[in-house]
Every structure is written in C-alpha cells, then in structure tokens.
Chain A
Amino acid sequence: MLLRYRGGIGMLAWAFHRISGVAIWAFVILHVVDIYLVGGNPKAYDELLAIYASPIGRVLEALLGAALLYHALNGLRIIVMDFWPSLTRYQRQMWLTNWVIFAVLGVIVSYFIFKPLWGG
C-alpha cells in the first residue's frame, strides 16, 4: 500500500512525507541519546562524532538534510491547503516549486557537507 504507486501528486507527496517523517523520527532518538552522552560519557560522544564525519556519515547526513527539507517544504504545502482550501487548485505548482527550492538548496548544502572529503 505504501509503495504501490498509482499516480497522482497527492499520493507520491504523501508517501515521501511519511517515509521522510519516520526517518527523521528515528534520527531524533539517536540524536537525543548521543547528546546525552556529552554529559554522561564524552569519550563515546567523540567516537560517535568521528563516525558522523566519515564519508558514510556524511552521506547519511546529506540524506537527513534531504528528508528534513522535503518534509519541511511539503509540510508547508499541506498547511497552505488545510487553511486556504481554495489554493489547493495550485497544489501542482506548489509541488513543483518545492522541488526547485529542494534542488537549489540541496546542491548548496551537499557542497558544504562533502567539501571536507576532498580537503576543502
């Protein structure tokens, strides 16, 4: 049901919103636990941060950023349609606008996240 795509922006937007939301929720659990270690076990925190800074860590970080940005932009689109139902007729334009913003910010943020890997 979640992955069987039968067309329409609404369902695709909804599926991405759900997947990105659950992914962010999982990261929040990890992140509260890791920040707790700063007080309880600083050494373990430093070791974990080294993993975050590794090449694989940076890919995951970029994916987290992508999930956050998609969920934030699509969330605003949902709010606009909830509170101003007449604007729902522009949902396709809002969806496309969101992807333009996503692509532009995604390229810029990814550049900064991956830059240190080639000594920048």
Chain B
Amino acid sequence: MRVIQNIVGLLLLVQASIAFAVLDIEIIGAGEKQIPVAIVPMGGDDKLSQTIHEVVVGDLQRSGLFRMVDLAGKLLTEPSQVSYADWQVRGAEGLAIGNVTALPNGRIEARFRLFDVVKQAELVAQAVSASDGQVRAIGHRIADLIYEKMTGDKGVFSTRIAYVNRRGQNFRLIVADSDGYNEQVVLAQNEPIMSPAWSPDGSHLAYVSFETGHAVVFVQSLYTNQRKVLADFRGSNSAPAWSPDGKQMAIVLTRDGSSQIYLVRPDGSNLRRITFSGAIDTEPNFSPDGQSLLFTSDRGGSAQIYRMPVEGGPEQRMTFGEGSNYSPRHSPDGSGFVFAHRNNGKFYIALQDFQTGQMELLTEGGWEKRPSFAPNGKLVLFASEARGRGILATVSSDGRVKQHMFTQSGDAREPVWGPNP
C-alpha cells in the first residue's frame, strides 16, 4: 500500500510540474494616499526587461499604495537622461530606471536606480542579480526597494506563501511567491493536508497530513524535501506553531482527551502539556517576543481567543461579545492580533489591539478564514471564496485594499504567509 501511495504521489507531482500557474488577480479599493511613481522599462535584454516590468508594476499596484504615472513614451536608462522637471510635470514622486543583462555565467543582473523626483535626489542605485529562471525574483526585489524607499516600510514582495490546493480528493501543499507565481509542490496526495506553518528561517514547513488515516504532524525541509513525523499519537495531532527562535514548537494533541496544547522541540523531544482545560484548546500562536501564546478555546461555551504565558500559567480571555472567534495570529510588532470572526452566518477577518481590546473588522464578511500577517505587518493573507471556489485573498491592515488571487483550478485553502527571506 505504501508503494502504491508513493506512486500516486509521484504521478501527481509530474502532473503538477507541467501545469503552469495561471493567475487571475482582482484588486479592490485603494490606499488613502497613492504615491505616483514612474516605472520605466529597463534597457538591455527586451524579454527580461518586460518580465521585470510586469512584476514590479504588478507588485506595486497590488499593494494599493502606488499609482503608475504615464510614461508618455519616455524611455531612459541612465541617470544623465533624468530631467526632474519633466517628471514633476507628470506628477511623479518616484522614478525608476535601469538596465538588465543576461551574464555569460547564466546569471541575470539588473542595475536599478530610484529617484525622488520631488527632492531631486537619487534614492537607490543597486545591482540585483539572480540565477537564470529567477527573473521574477529580481522584479520582486526591485519592487521591495521602491516600496521601502517610498513608504518607509519594508516590502514583502520577495516573501513566499504556503497553502493547500484541493481538487476533488486530491490535496497539494504548495509554496509560492507572494504573488502566487513560481509554485513548488511540497506534498501531493489523496488525503487531506492542513495547517502549514513556516519555521522562522523559512527553511521548513510543519503541517498536518491524514495520509496514515488520522491527523499527524510532519516537519519537512523545503531544501531537501526530507521530512519527519513530529507527533503521531492516537487521536488527532495538529496545529503546529513555531516559536520565534525556532527552538520550540506548540502542537495540539488529543492523546489525553480533548484537544490540548503541548510544547515540543522540533526534533520531537521534551514533549510537555501546557493547557489543562478539558475543552478544545487549539491553534496556538507565539507572540513575537516568544513569551506568550494566543489560542482558540471553547472553554467558555463558544470558541474565543485566549492568551497565556508560554510556560503555562494564568489564561486570559481576549475576545468577548457576539459570535465566535478562531485562528489568532500576532501582528509582527506584537501590538495586536488578527483572527477569524464568525457572526450571523458569516466569517470576517478581524483585528484586535491588545491595549484597547477593540475589535475591528477588516473585511465585509463572507467565507473568510485563517488570516496571517505579512512580515511587515501591512497586509493580511487569508482564505476566502469567490465564484464558487476557495481562493487566496489579502487585505491591507487598514482594511482599505483587498486582493483576490485565483490560483489554478480547485480550491485554495489554509494559506499562511512566510517569513522574510
């Protein structure tokens, strides 16, 4: 049977690798202020230039924080060709130019410059290179540089996301670029996969797989694809979460009764139980300082968000009011958390500040689940539904800009944003 399973897995992998990811991205809304930028296609290799241009413009537009200034046919590649007055008239605040070449060693090198048109100053002059076939990575890196210089926040276009694609009974665990391109199939099988969780250094994914007939937690290297079982006790093993230093994990086991939270080292050693409620305690998430956990519990009669010290101790209820709440995730700065809020038959993505205790809905509601922050805290990735399919969606942390990403066929589920590269 194991052999058969492996063959099925291989077949699915082959299938996956020939299926090109066609993405359909819808952007809804715009930032309070959109920075006008002129992105001039790079000189040099035409094909490379075109791809980089598409990636940079796509990234900046999807953020909702930028407006593309019409180039009016102007093509320039050198600083000596920059006339600030020209671009001021067109209303640009930023101007990006550059050259891209395929080097003899197979690498691609882009020399990129960004100018502040208002202050009439060069902001960035940098060479960005990548191996052949990684031209999109260059585009993402340049978009990150523009985003960072123009907004003051770190960009997240070079990060990756993980999610599960479900087609009928076929489940694939996928890692992709932040825009959904460049898919890598981590695991493909005919049994469910859920709850992917990135190690803080982005080298490993922990996840739950049902391939042996019940929920088991695995940890898999994204470099070697080698994996090992982290927890396979009777009942369900699930909800893996990494501590910020990567030295500890929280998991949920039902081996002693109802779902309870345990700590364990990533090698499976030093397992110890930290909640003793007898209710469902699940979805642990470490605070950025590693000192506390948020989690979901129904100990009060409905699913709500709670907080507790990592090493055990007093547990504090964080969410009140109508409805139930699930899947808490700390913001990267530790000031609050996102979660899925269910009320009146709808799921919303919600944000709560630790200090005020106020809940703010980021979305209009629908079938919206499993939010996670981008590393810069400015965007939230979540699972949604549109056109009868499960899709990936993002919302800016101020709720103004939303994005729907239709990836391939089937349902996209269980997304999670990865760490900075």
Instruction: Decide whether A and B assemble into one complex.
Output: no
Q: Which residues of A contact B (CB under 8 A)?
A: none
Residues of B that sit less than 8 Å from A by CB: none
